[in-house]
Amino acid sequence: MTDSQVPAAAAAAGKSLATKKIVFVLGGPGSGKGTQSGKLVKEFGAVHLSAGDLLRAHMKSGTPDGQMVADMIANGRIVPSHVTVTLLKDAMEASDKSLFLIDGFPRNEENRAAFEKQVMMERLLGRQEGRTDDNIETIHKRFKVFTEQSLPVVEHYEALSKVARIDAHRDPEEVYREVRRLFEEL
């Protein structure tokens, strides 16, 4: 799991991501992501957002953009990251909850970079701490350098001490006790 506090600009409805916590739930198929997420939802009131579920709902929306996503998936193509990030961002902004579990995203470095570009850039520009590097040109340069790194997503967050590795090959209740302890530290 990776944890990232992600402030962003307010949505049209006036809801902001400024006070929200985002936890990326990463792991291989069958590793218990859904099981552990369900327990966290019950105990901590988190919102579980599945990138796949959001994309499937978007495909069924009947909108031109939803049809584009359906066509891409039907043709075996990968949906552009900005589409998935926008769906995640919209879902978070529409919620009055403050803790989000994002399941199935980011899947690769391009996904991670797109998430940070769309969401984190707004945070950097909006933090107003008086830093000289909080300007659009410098931020663009910083993102270019950042996205050129070849670290996998988990290694990136691990370098920032934002990864907790949990052995999921144990009893789900034992795994949850460890996951729960990490959430209590948030």
Domain that holds residue 173: 2-185
Q: Higher confidence at residue 160 or residue 123?
A: 160
Say whether pTM exceeds 0.75.
Answer: no
> Is the pLDDT confidence value at 17 over 50?
yes
H or E element at residue 173: helix 172-185
| Closest alpha carbon to 110 in 65, 156, 69 | 156
**What does the pLDDT average to over 97-101?**
93
Could you tell me the CATH number of the domain that includes residue 122? 3.40.50.300
Max CA pair span of the chain: 50
Torsion of CA 46, 119, 69, 72, to 10 degrees: -120
User: pLDDT for 136-178, tens place per residue?
Assistant: 677 666 656 545 543 467 788 888 988 888 887 788 899 999 9
Determine the pLDDT at residue 14. 35
User: pLDDT for 37-87, tens place per residue?
Assistant: 999 999 999 999 998 899 999 999 989 999 999 998 888 888 899 999 999
Residue 13: band (very low, low, confident or very high) from pLDDT cuts 50, 70, 90: very low
Q: Higher confidence at residue 11 or residue 109?
A: 109
Q: What's the total number of domains in the chain?
A: 1
Centroid of chain to Cα 120:
11
Determine the pLDDT at residue 37. 93
